[in-house]
Structure 1
Amino acid sequence: MSEQIETWGDLVERAGVGIGGTPSDAPVTKLISAPIPITGSDGTKDFGGCGSGCGCMPQA
């Protein structure tokens, strides 16, 4: 969490993966919240996520 990664090139270098079609100087932003809405498919707010420890699992 304390690493400063500012570009796509920095990120793929640290991850050890290919750069793909994204320019190496493209800026990146750290996402620290759930990447999906925490609601069920019927719109209810009691969706429990897809499993423990994943990004969509609400924390008590």
Structure 2
Amino acid sequence: MVLGNPINMNKESYELQLTNDMTMMAMSGKERTIIEWKKLFKDAGFSHSKITPILGEKSVIEVFP
């Protein structure tokens, strides 16, 4: 999950976010900002990445060798 997407959050998106937060807490997940994701990918050796918001706080993340 990517934090800080500039998308207005409606009630459904807010409820989805709460559900995702509960799931992540149960599974020891971690939310990251775009900057944190890009640093993680760079540190892992990927040349570049693309993060595309799709629904509320959900995004498609692509990384390239």
The two structures have a TM-score, normalised by structure 2, of 0.23
| Higher share of residues assigned helix | 2
Which has the bigger relative contact order, CA under 8 A and spacing at least 6?
2
**Which TM-score applies when normalising by structure 1?**
0.24
Is the radius of gyration larger for structure 1 or structure 2?
1
* Structure number with higher strand proportion: 2
